[in-house]
Amino acid sequence: MELYVTLNGKYPRSESLIRATRDYDRGRIDSTALNHVYEEDYRALHDLQRDWPWVSDGLLNWQDLLRPFAEVIPGTQVLGLVRYYETNTFYRLLSFPGLNLQGLHETWVSKYFRFGNLAILPGPALFARFSEGLSLPQIYTLLQETMALLKAQGSRVFYLQEPELVYRGNSELPPGYASFIQEVRKVIDDGTLIVNPYFGSVLPLLRELLQLEVDGIGVDFLTNAIEDLIEAGWDPAKGMLAGVVDTENSYQEQAEDLQAVLTQIRETLRPRFLVLTGHADFEFLPRSVADRKIAFLQNVKEVLA
């Protein structure tokens, strides 16, 4: 069984970059100085993922998981704050005037996907939750086109972040979701596609999720229990993005405990591949703690491998 470690969602900015973004907002430094700090942070994040097969730029310059799409569609308004699920992080509601992909081009990709082959994107349900003005079919089109462009620009792995699918305990996927995934499947061809629902139990949706033409499914193991997945009938043909460290708390998980959990997953659920990551975005941790948790996952992975 293939075993990886990857980032999950947005990665936290370093304390230096945090300081620089504040200084930039207050007019204390110019964009050149800010970009210099960004580059340093990208380098550090690149180094953190050295030799990993799936590498992300951590979305360091994204204000939230939807914000770059405000630049894709001209006339998009950036509105008030909306809490991001059970966190103390807030998104801004995007109000789209309609579907017009004028801003979806290589320059946008190079601005928001700085390096790596792992593209982390908002899933359609998440996108709909934090925006208005686009129908679900229009959101499907927007994301398909985005992934097509990203594939053409070198992305090979796609995570669709989808807490909205499980957070409210829904037992059905949104209308047209399976067809959307089928279309994406065609668009990304031999790329790897993972739908990543977190902040909720996957059980009510598990049957439908397993039927999607995705390579893997995310499981937040702070919310989900292995015994529940066994009883519900996990499909070993699917890979698993396993959220096994707590990204909302700074305590250090114990290696022996995690090894036991992962051994149980491998022996009982037997996913096609197993990706170790945080239960949600790493951004909810300060950078030093996130780096420590990533190093911890890497060590556990090496022991298990």
Partner 1 sequence: MIHPLFTHEIGSLAKPNWRVKAMRNRPLTDQDLDDAQEWGKFLDLETEELLEILQKRQNFTPEEKQKIVWYSSLMATRMLEKAGLDVVYDGEQHRVEMYEYPIRRIEGFQFLGHVRSFDNKYYRKAAVQAAPRLKELYHLHEYQVIQSFATKPVKIPMTGAYTLVDWSFDEFYLRGVEIGTREGRRHRREARARFLHDLATQVIHPNLKALYDAGARFLQIDEPAATTKPDEIDLFFQSLEDSVGDLKGKVFFSVHICFSDYRLLFPAIQTVEGIIREFHFEYANRDTRELGVDDRKRRGYEILKELVKYDFIAGVGVLDVHTDWIEPPELVRDRVLYAVEQMGTPERVFVAPDCGLRTRTWKVAYEKLRNMVEGVELAKQALGLS
Residues that bind partner 1 (CB under 8 A): 12-13, 15, 18, 21-22, 24-25, 63-64, 80-83, 86-92, 221-228, 244, 246, 248-253, 257-258, 261, 264-265, 279, 283-289
Beta bridge partners of 158: 119, 193
Reduced to 3 states (helix: H, G, I; strand: E, B; else coil), residue 129 is helix
Alpha carbon distance 158, 169 (integer Å) = 24
Residue 260 parent element (H or E): helix 255-264
**Minimal distance in Å, beta carbon 26 to partner 1?**
10
Q: Which is nearer to partner 1, 93 or 101 (CB)?
A: 93
As a whole number of angstroms, the distance between CA 96 and CA 59 comes to: 22
CB of 263 to partner 1, least distance (A): 11
Nearer to partner 1, 44 or 82 (CB): 82
User: Both tokens of residue 243?
Assistant: 């959220």
Interior angle at CA 89, CA 36 and CA 288, nearest 5: 50
Shortest distance, position 216 Cβ to partner 1, whole Å: 17
CB nearer partner 1, residue 141 or residue 273: 273
Q: Which is nearer to partner 1, 214 or 265 (CB)?
A: 265
Q: Pick the closer one to partner 1 by CB: 191 or 197.
A: 197
The DSSP bridge pattern shows strands 90-95 and 77-83 to be: antiparallel
CB within 8 Å of 135: residues ≥ 6 apart = none
**Closest distance to partner 1 from the beta carbon of 272 (Å):** 19
Joined together, the tokens standing for residue 159 give: 């995570």
Cβ neighbours of 104 (radius 10 Å) = 18
Q: Is the CB of 28 or the CB of 207 nearer to partner 1? A: 28
Minimum distance from residue 197 beta carbon to partner 1 (Å) = 16
**What is the closest distance, in whole angstroms, from the C-beta atom of residue 289 to partner 1 in the complex?**
6
Q: Please compute, for residue 179, the number of CA atoms within 13 A of its CA located in the half-sphere on the CB side.
A: 8
